[in-house]
Amino acid sequence: MSTIFGLIIQGKLPAKKVFENERILAIEDIHPIAPVHILIMPKKEIRDIHNLDVTDWPLMGEILEVAQKIAEEKGIENGYRLLTNCGKEAGQTIFHLHFHLIGGRVLGSMG
C-alpha cells in the first residue's frame, strides 16, 4: 500500500478516525470543504471506482451503510453529498478509492 491512505490504513500515518472495522476506515478530511467532510474508504487496495469488480459489491454496500450511519451521527441526514472522484481528470489526487461525505451547510450546485 503506497498511497497516503494506504499508510493511514496501516497505522503508519496519523488520521482522525470516525469509523473503523476490518474492511472499512472513515477519517476526517485534512482540508474540509464543509463542517462535515469525511472520507470513507475500503481497506482493500482499490485504485478507484472504475477498478471495482463484482466481488466488491458487498463491500460497496457496506460503505453506503457506513455513510448513512455517520450522516446520522453527525446530524446531517437531511442533506449531504456522497461522491467519489475517479481518475485524474475528475480531480482524484489520492489513488486509493474513497468516498467524500460532505454536509453541514447548504451545498451549491455540482457545477
Which entry of 37, 50, 98, 100 is annotated as an active-site residue?
A: 98
- Among residues 2, 31, 55, 108, which is the contact residue for ligand 5GP, using CB under 6 A? 31
What whole-number distance in Å separates Cα of residue 111 and Cα of residue 100?
Answer: 17
Decide if residue 9 touches ligand 5GP (CB under 6 A): no
Q: Are 2 and 95 contacting, i.e. CB atoms less than 8 angstroms apart?
A: no
What whole-number distance in Å separates Cα of residue 33 and Cα of residue 100?
Answer: 10
* Stretch of 18-26, 29-37, 57-65, 73-81 contacting ligand 5GP, by CB under 6 A: 29-37
Decide if residue 11 touches ligand 5GP (CB under 6 A): no
What whole-number distance in Å separates Cα of residue 52 and Cα of residue 46?
Answer: 7
DSSP string, 68-107: HHHHHHTT-TTSEEEE---SGGGT--S-S--EEEEESS--
* Stretch of 17-25, 59-67, 87-95, 102-110 contacting ligand 5GP, by CB under 6 A: 87-95
Number of residues that bind ligand 5GP (CB under 6 A): 13
| Interface positions with ligand 5GP (CB under 6 A) | 4, 15, 27-31, 39, 85, 91-94
